[in-house]
Structure 1
Amino acid sequence: MTPLTWKKSSYSGGGEGNACVEIAHHHPQVAVRDSKTPTHPTLTFPAPTFTAFIEALKRHPR
């Protein structure tokens, strides 16, 4: 199995930027993990569901 390529948000904050989540595309799913504990289990979502979630966040920013 090919290792996943994890990406961290550009909004991850200062310092080491380890206070956020990371995502990896693992077709047909998107994997999500806590950047502080990268060896712990991940959550996976169908790609369309994850995309809808991100689009909803963009429409309703904090």
Structure 2
Amino acid sequence: MREEIRTAAWRKSSLSGDTGNCVEVAPLSGGRVALRDSKDANSPVLVFTEAEWSAFRGGMRLGEFDF
């Protein structure tokens, strides 16, 4: 999986602004999605299953996270 993450097509979130709170996402095989800090390409990577990613995005849309 490390090689797949290293060569993934990362893209910065459209919701990231100039505040430095930026993330990048990349699609992986099997419907998984990788998430990392856009300021550090070597930062730890979270990998979500398709169902986990869907639940995470739904929670973001509903404001369920306190930032």
Same fold (TM over 0.5): yes
Alignment partners' CA distance in 1, 2:43 and 2:60: 25
- What's 1:59 paired with? 62
Root-mean-square deviation (CA, aligned residues, Å) is 2.2
- Encode CA deviations 1:12-51: one digit per residue, 9 max, x unaligned: 113xx75311110102211111011112231111121111
Counterpart in the other structure of 1:31: 34
Segments of structure 2 that go 5 or more residues without pairing to the other structure are: none
| Count of residue correspondences | 60
- Asked whether the 8 Å contact 1:32–1:42 carries over to 2, the reply is yes
Gapped regions of structure 1 (runs ≥ 5): none
**Aligned equivalents of 2:39, 2:63: Cα separation in 1:** 26
Question: Match of 2:8, as an amino acid?
Answer: L
Identity %: 35
4+ residue runs of structure 1 moved beyond 3 angstroms?
A: none
By how many angstroms is 1:59 displaced? 2.2
Larger relative strand fraction = 1
Match of 2:23 in 1: 21
SS of equivalent to 1:11: coil
Higher normalized helix content (fraction of residues): 2
